[in-house]
Amino acid sequence: MITDFQIQALPIDPFLPWFDLNPDELRQRGARWLTAEASPGYPCRVSLTDAQLGEQVLALPYTHHDVTSPYRASGPIFVRQQAVQAQPEINEIPAMLRHRLLSVRAYDASHMMIAATVIEGVELAQTIHRQWHNPAVQYLHLHNAMPGCFNCAVQRVVQT
C-alpha cells in the first residue's frame, strides 16, 4: 500500500515583520537582503519556488525544527519579498525540489531522527513513499544536501 504525502511550505506571516527592518536592524538579527544572481539559486521556503534573476530575497536564520529533542535545529533560509505561501497538492513535488541534491531526514514521534538519505530531487516521491513503510516515521524534513539548509517538511496524508 502506498501512503500519500503532502509537502508543507512555511507560512509568510512570521517573516512579514522582517521586511520592514532597515539594513542595520537586519544585520543585528543576522539577516540580509540579497539579489538573486543565478536561477536556480535562492529557493524560497514560503513559495517553494526559486527566485528569479534580480529578485530580492531575505536571507535569515530560522528555527525549522523547534522541538524538545537533541535534533532541535536552525539554519539559514531564503524568503522571496513577494512570496505567497505554496499549497502543494497531495503527492505533488514542487519544481524547486526536483533539480536539487536533497537530504531526506525522517523523524519519529519523539522528534528523533531515525533515518536519513541523500538523493537527487527526481527520486523524491519514491523516497518519501519508502520512508512511510516504516510506521515509526512520523514526518520528514527536506534539506539541500550540499549546504544543508532546510527546505520544507513532509507529512503523511491519511485518507479516510
SS3 of the chain: helix, strand, coil, percent, to 5: 20, 35, 45
CB 38 within 8 Å of CB 51: no
The pTM of the whole model exceeds 0.85:
yes
Q: pLDDT 10s digit of each residue in the chain, 160 long?
A: 568 999 999 999 999 999 999 999 999 999 999 999 988 889 999 999 999 999 999 999 999 999 999 999 999 999 998 899 999 999 999 999 999 999 999 999 999 999 999 999 999 999 999 999 999 999 999 999 988 899 999 999 977 6
Please give the DSSP secondary-structure letter assigned to residue 147.
Answer: T
CA-based diameter of the chain, in Å? 53
pLDDT, tens only, 50-95: 999 999 999 999 999 999 999 999 999 999 988 999 999 999 999 9
CB 43 within 8 Å of CB 100: yes
Task: Report how many helices (DSSP H) and strands (DSSP E) the chain contains, helices first.
Answer: 4, 8
Domain ranges of the chain: 4-157
pLDDT value, residue 3: 84
